[in-house]
Amino acid sequence: MQIYKTEHTEQEMCVFAVHLAKLLKPSDCLCFHGNLGAGKTTFIRAMIQHLVQVETVPSPTFTLVQTYDSLIGQLWHFDLYRIKQPEELYELGFEEALAGGILFIEWPDHAKGLLPVNQLQLHLDHAPKEEKRVIKITGDAVWANRLAPLNQH
C-alpha cells in the first residue's frame, strides 16, 4: 500500500530521511528504486549520517557494499547496479547482513528473489518541473503503522 508521496528539494529530502531513520530497527530492509541520478545515495547518506558519526558516506558504486556500526545495529548500504548474477550478493556478506542488520539497497531488482520479504519500497523520480524529486513509499500494513508519524513531515 502507498504510505507516503511528496515532492522534496534535496535539503527537504535529507530532513525527511532523518525522520525515517529514527523509525528504523534491526532486520529492516529498505529498497531504493529510481533511475541513475534519482537521489538514492543522497537519501541513504542522510540516514547513515544521522545514525553514525561519520564524516563521509561514500557511494558503494564500485565497492558494491559499505557497512557501518550504529547504535541500532550494523548498517549495510548495497549498490547492486554492477552485479551480474543475484548470487554475487553472497560474496558481499549478504548472509551476515540478513542476521539482524539494517539493509539499504540501491538497484534491488538486480537481486531478483534473494531479498527478505516485507521490504519497504522507496521510489525516487525527477519531479516534472522543479529541481526536486518525487518520493513515493510503499509497504505492507505493518510498515504503514510504523511510518504513520512520517505523514506529519
Residues near ligand ATP (CB under 6 A) are 8-10, 13, 34, 36-42, 79, 106, 131-133
CA distance 35 to 27: 26
Q: Is 33 a residue that touches Mg ion (CB under 5 A)?
A: no
Residues contacting Mg ion: total by CB under 5 A:
3
Closest distance of CB 100 from ligand ATP, Å: 25
Q: Does 45 bind Mg ion (CB under 5 A)?
A: no
Q: Report which residue type is found at 112.
A: K
CB contact at 8 A, 90 and 112: no
- Binding partner selected for residue 119 from Mg ion, ligand ATP, none, CB under the kind-specific 5 to 8 Å limit: none
Residue 39's binding partner among Mg ion, ligand ATP, none (Cβ under 5 to 8 angstroms by kind) is ligand ATP
Question: Interface with Mg ion includes 66 (CB under 5 A)?
Answer: no
Q: Which is nearer to ligand ATP, 3 or 13 (CB)?
A: 13
Whether 38 contacts 124, CB under 8 Å? yes
What is the b/e burial string over 4-37, where b = at least 16 CB atoms within 10 angstroms of the residue's CB? Answer: bebebeeeebbebbeebbeebeeebbbbbbbeee
Q: Provide, rounded to whole angstroms, the least separation between the CB of residue 40 and ligand ATP.
A: 3
